[in-house]
């Protein structure tokens, strides 16, 4: 590669990274949300710094799933920034900028395999896709949500491994690059199990534009990636086992195989539409209640996805770019499409972070094809449309960043789009309670229970609100109902113990607190200073026993 061309590539990649960082920089003013953020930050705050002991935990612990590099990233951030969340957000924003630059470099390398494509066209396609990848509003969730650091890191190493793959297959003796891509693939997997899609993406690239099937049989192309598939198998087993143990993986009893296929098909189509027109984005898309196969949203999506897949496969020799891009998109999106439902959400903007790249590349290829065959008037129209789309994406990203400022902005936005979601109203009630806005919180907690009267956590939250509002009899009633529906709710037990103490029912309060601290000793720190339990700390009959109980739980 000529030196001047190399300089142009470096300058363009740096400019794309800078624009991406600039667009997302307002996110440094956001706080954290009580939705997985404490899961990471509180744990690394206990580890404090990088040390042999903390590294041992990072590489041996299995909370939710195996992601040691993600934990290490948060730990390093905490050692540098502490609880200054602006620093944590800045790290995520910079990582996203680097990813946008890597998308540009990856596509520049990939388009080099396409015949009769001029350097200027390659530059335009690669830069255009990278810019849209960088500023698209679907990316805000992965960038502005501290807990999604795993997605940024996984994509970083995934892009690097794909670049290494392109170098490996383009050289006669590319063994060094092969081992490099294996190391980078493992790093992606150690950041997030989503990396299991990469071998299938590589096979899509083998078909087009690399066209490696012309020199080697497909069996050979699969066999050369045997080590990657072996890691994928191990990653899948570890992830399923870990999420099953933590309860994050919804059982097949709640959603059968057919329901999961309907959800997956709906999501495949849903994300394509959101990529084109992201005018209606929510931080939470509920999947509550039954799934009806007669619903047009589900069966229509299933028919559409099957038809598109069949057409793309049937025309794969005449339109190889379409089949390659579509199959790569399916490979990237299917693990998070709902086939293995994790959690109550039906979809998530973050799942499209890397999966949008093949579709954007296909759209760019289509634009080039249209440009080369159109008169000046249509070229001008195409340029105007694409320019307006990019401007629209940038404006929507600017509007989407404040959604992740705190819990209230997040769940208020979700409640606007899904006012009939019990979980959304419950989460918003919790957020408002944390801000001591009890009257507003009461409205949403009561609404959550109107939507789902058997929702135990909402009863527990309503009991907590009543406790804060000094309505102790109501707090007892709601807490007892919460525990009747779900006896192992620690929050409900704690609120009930506090309400009993306020009503002078000290024996019941102490016994309940005693049982709670045996299984949930983390409540000891709250109980030691909670005003609702002050009577237990001061009453002569219980003062010494209470102090002993708290000390035992803390130790």
Note every long-range contact of 417-422, with CB atoms under 8 Å and residues 24 or more positions apart, other chains counting.
417/280, 417/282, 418/282, 418/284, 418/285, 418/286, 420/451, 421/284, 421/286, 421/288, 421/451, 422/288, 422/448, 422/449, 422/451, 422/452, 422/455, 422/458
CA 157 to chain centre: 17
pTM for this prediction: 0.92
Domain annotation for the chain: domains and CATH numbers? 3-404 (no CATH), 419-554 (1.25.40.10)
- What separation in angstroms does the CA of 258 have from each of 59, 330, 341, 344, 554? 37, 18, 13, 17, 48
Note every long-range contact of 464-473, with CB atoms under 8 Å and residues 24 or more positions apart, other chains counting.
464/433, 464/491, 464/495, 465/429, 465/433, 465/438, 465/441, 466/499, 467/495, 467/498, 467/499, 467/502, 467/532, 468/433, 468/436, 468/438, 469/438, 469/442, 470/502, 472/499, 472/502, 472/503, 473/503
Cis ω for the linkage preceding 51 (within 30 of 0): no
Give the three-state DSSP class for 344.
coil
The whole-angstrom separation of Cα 511 and Cα 518 is: 11
From the first residue on, what is the mean pLDDT of each consecutive set of 10 residues in the chain (555 residues)? 82 97 97 90 90 91 85 96 95 98 97 89 96 98 96 98 94 80 95 93 96 90 91 78 56 65 92 93 84 78 95 95 97 87 78 97 95 93 94 96 96 95 96 96 97 95 96 96 92 95 94 92 90 89 90 83
- What separation in angstroms does the CA of 455 have from each of 479, 480, 496, 551? 12, 13, 17, 34
The closest alpha carbon to 412, from 33, 11, 22, belongs to: 33
pLDDT at position 48: 86
Give the three-state DSSP class for 530.
coil
pLDDT at position 538: 87
What are the structure tokens assigned to 145, written together? 């949500």
């Amino acid at each position: 590669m000529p030196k001047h061309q190399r300089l142009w590539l470096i300058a363009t990649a740096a400019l794309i990274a800078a624009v991406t960082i600039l667009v997302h920089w307002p996110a440094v003013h956001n706080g954290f949300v009580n939705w997985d953020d404490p899961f990471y930050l509180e744990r690394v705050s206990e580890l404090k710094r990088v040390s042999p002991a903390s590294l041992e935990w990072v590489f041996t612990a299995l909370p939710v799933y195996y992601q040691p590099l993600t934990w290490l990233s948060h730990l390093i951030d905490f050692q540098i920034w502490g609880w200054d969340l602006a620093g944590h957000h800045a790290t995520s924003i910079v990582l996203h900028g680097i990813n946008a630059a890597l998308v540009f470099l990856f596509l520049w390398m990939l388009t080099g395999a396409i015949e009769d494509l001029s350097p200027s066209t390659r530059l335009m396609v690669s830069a255009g896709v990278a810019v849209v990848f960088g500023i698209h509003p679907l990316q805000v969730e992965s960038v502005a949500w501290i807990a999604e650091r795993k997605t940024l890191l996984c994509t970083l190493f995934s892009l690097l491994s794909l670049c290494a793959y392109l170098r490996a297959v383009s050289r006669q003796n590319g063994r060094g690059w092969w081992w490099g891509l294996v190391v980078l693939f493992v790093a992606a997997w150690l950041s997030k199990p989503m990396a299991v899609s990469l071998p299938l993406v590589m096979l899509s690239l083998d078909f087009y534009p690399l066209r490696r099937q012309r020199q080697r049989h497909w069996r050979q192309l699969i066999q050369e990636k045997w080590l990657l598939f072996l890691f994928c198998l191990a990653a899948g087993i570890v992830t399923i086992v870990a999420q099953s143990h933590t309860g994050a993986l919804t059982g097949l009893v709640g959603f059968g195989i057919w329901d999961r296929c309907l959800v997956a098909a709906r999501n495949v189509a849903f994300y394509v539409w959101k990529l084109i027109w992201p005018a209606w984005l929510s931080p939470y898309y509920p999947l509550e209640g039954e799934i009806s196969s007669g619903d047009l949203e589900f069966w229509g999506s299933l028919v559409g996805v099957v038809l598109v897949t069949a057409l793309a496969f049937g025309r794969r020799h005449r339109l190889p770019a379409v089949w390659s891009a579509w199959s790569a998109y399916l490979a990237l999106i299917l693990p998070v499409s709902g086939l293995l439902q994790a959690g109550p959400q039906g979809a998530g903007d973050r799942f499209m972070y890397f999966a949008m790249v093949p579709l954007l590349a296909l759209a760019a290829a289509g634009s080039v094809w249209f440009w080369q065959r159109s008169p000046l008037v249509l070229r001008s129209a195409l340029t105007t449309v694409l320019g307006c789309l990019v401007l629209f994406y940038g404006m929507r990203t600017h509007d989407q960043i404040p959604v992740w400022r705190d819990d209230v902005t997040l769940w208020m936005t979700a409640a606007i789009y899904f006012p009939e979601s019990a979980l959304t109203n419950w989460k918003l009630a919790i957020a408002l309670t944390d801000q001591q806005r009890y009257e507003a919180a009461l409205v949403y907690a009561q609404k959550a229970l109107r939507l789902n009267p058997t929702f135990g956590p909402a009863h527990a939250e309503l009991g907590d609100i009543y406790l804060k509002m000094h309505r102790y009899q109501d707090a007892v009633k709601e807490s007892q109902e919460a525990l009747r529906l779900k006896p192992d709710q620690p929050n409900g037990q704690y609120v009930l113990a506090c309400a009993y103490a306020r009503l002078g029912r000290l024996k019941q309060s102490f016994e309940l607190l005693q049982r709670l601290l045996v299984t949930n000793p983390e409540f000891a720190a709250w109980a030691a200073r909670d005003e609702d339990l002050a009577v237990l700390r001061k009453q002569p009959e219980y003062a010494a026993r209470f102090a002993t109980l708290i000390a035992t739980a803390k130790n």
